[in-house]
Amino acid sequence: MSEVPVPPLTRPQLAEARRMRAVELFEQGRADSEVARMVGIHPESVRRWKRLWEQGGVEALRRRPATGRPPKLDDTHVETVRAALEQGAQAHGFEADLWTLERVGIVIERLTGVTLARASVWRVLTGRLGWSLQRPRRQAVERDDAEIARWVTQEWPRIKKGR
């Protein structure tokens, strides 16, 4: 039986967890400056959170749904995209196993029927999936490390000695 991977927390979830930790510390009677240091937040934010907590309790510090236009991809679509991207680019017919914003956009469109701009694809990758930019190493495919090591140990000293 395989375990289902737990997706990383989103920024709003992390922020809410931080506020809930601050509430625990408020309830322990900790000073605002101490709470700020322990939670890693500016003291002014802690004072604001404390005022909200005193006026409305824990619910005043809970996460609220985002305002504005709803996202084009719901959570099930995002999880479908995550699973597809984890298979690798070659599994989706691309020559190299390298993801670009254009390629991810194509896969999203194939799976969900939703066309996203590059900026929106970036937001899905970084914001909703919690992924980050990874640049491939600039290295020739033909590179032979064993041959390089041999050249450095045998040929280079011979060339250097001949000077």
Q: pLDDT by residue (tens digit) across 80-126?
A: 999 999 999 999 999 988 899 999 999 999 999 999 999 999 999 99
Domain 11-61 top-level CATH class: mainly alpha
* Domain ranges across the chain: 11-61, 75-128
Q: pLDDT by residue (tens digit) across 133-161?
A: 888 778 887 888 899 999 999 989 888 88
Selection from 136, 110, 108, 134 nearest residue 121 by Cα: 108
* Model pTM score: 0.50
- CA angle in degrees (0–180, nearest 5) for 59-62-65: 120
Give the pLDDT of residue 1: 56
Say whether pLDDT at 2 is over 80: no
Q: pLDDT by residue (tens digit) across 41-95?
A: 999 999 999 999 999 999 999 988 878 888 899 999 999 999 999 999 999 999 9
